[in-house]
Structure 1
Amino acid sequence: MNKVVSILSLSLILGACASTSPKTKITGISVDLPESNWVQVTDKEASDQYIKEWVPNGKTPFDTNWIITEQKLPIHSKISAEQFQKSMFSLAKQSCSDILYNGPQEINTNDHLTSVGRFMCAQQKGKPYGTFTDQRVIIQGLTAYVVTSELRVPAASKAGVLAFGKDKIDEMKEFMQTQKKSSGFVRQSINVCFDNSVNCI
């Protein structure tokens, strides 16, 4: 019989954000992948959008427990990063049996108010797993840059709850460590490039 262990959401400790108008324009982003061997499995680009995906070396998008995605997306009207992230949270609800949110909250990057948050899915519809997904959103005009760090976990009845057998305590501890890395990655390892940046990407 499985032992149910509740994973409490970590509080997002962020400083106060200024509301001044940005003096610079965002020209792109890049990511510094967490300390691990990663392999890029997706790299698709169109005129105004792209998607890139990475998984740990030796894994594929189908059997990995951790996948990082970077996207550039066109948007139809001007919207704040926080509002955009709230809309993505709403879309995620449609594909999950049960969902729980943490955030969004703002991170001030060179006077641009970027947004960070987490959503936890008990079970993705049509999939055998649930997810803990940390996400960062950066907006420039009619362009959104979105980075997600998705951890796949055993399906559960409620979002934010994991079921571990008594013989899988080590797996629980490993997940907790990975969750901390995922959270830190979207907050600290997204490089935002500006029109006055030198060799940003």
Structure 2
Amino acid sequence: MDTTELAARAAALATPGGRRILGIAGPPGAGKSTLAAELVRALGPDRAVVVPMDGFHLARAELHRLGRADRKGAPDTFDVPGYTSLLTRLRTPGTKATVYAPAFDRTLEEPVAGSIAVGPGVPLVITEGNYLLHDAGEWARVRSLLDEAWYLAPDDGLRVRRLIDRHVRYGKDPGRARAWVLRSDEANARLVAPGRHRADLVVDGT
């Protein structure tokens, strides 16, 4: 299924007079944020807005306090109740006010509150992240808040190369980037993989 077909499927969810939430899940480096951005470009900002799960990363100082800084990106390094509360608020019928959501700044490596405005007339919210289909602990609530869920499953070799390139682009040297990907990102990918069976659609390839 190519991007045009995926955009048509997303457009069918973006019906006026209500709001639906499309979740895009998959392992690190699968292309979730890229696809979400392409869908918004295809549908237009009046019909779709991206609210990323990564906006709910715990801040660096809190990760250090908890002793989890070396595992950033693992399931317990996010504010899961905050994320599910926002999804609940976004899908509540009759919401008349703009809802503000956090984003994640990869240059700062920190979440930034109030960065994304979801107007009351926007019919489709696209949320993307690793753990949307994870069924452990409080993450299990997320699936019930999604009207439709997709799982991206690209070639693993390509995905790992993308991840290493991303870490290098944001400041790690190539050796450290590769070590982080193979130790941390790939451990998270193994946690994410079983979630594909909870998706409405599995998108293979690039």
TM-score relative to the length of structure 1? 0.27
* More strand by percentage: 1
* More helix by percentage: 2
Higher relative contact order (CA 8 A, sep 6+): 2
TM-score relative to the length of structure 2? 0.26
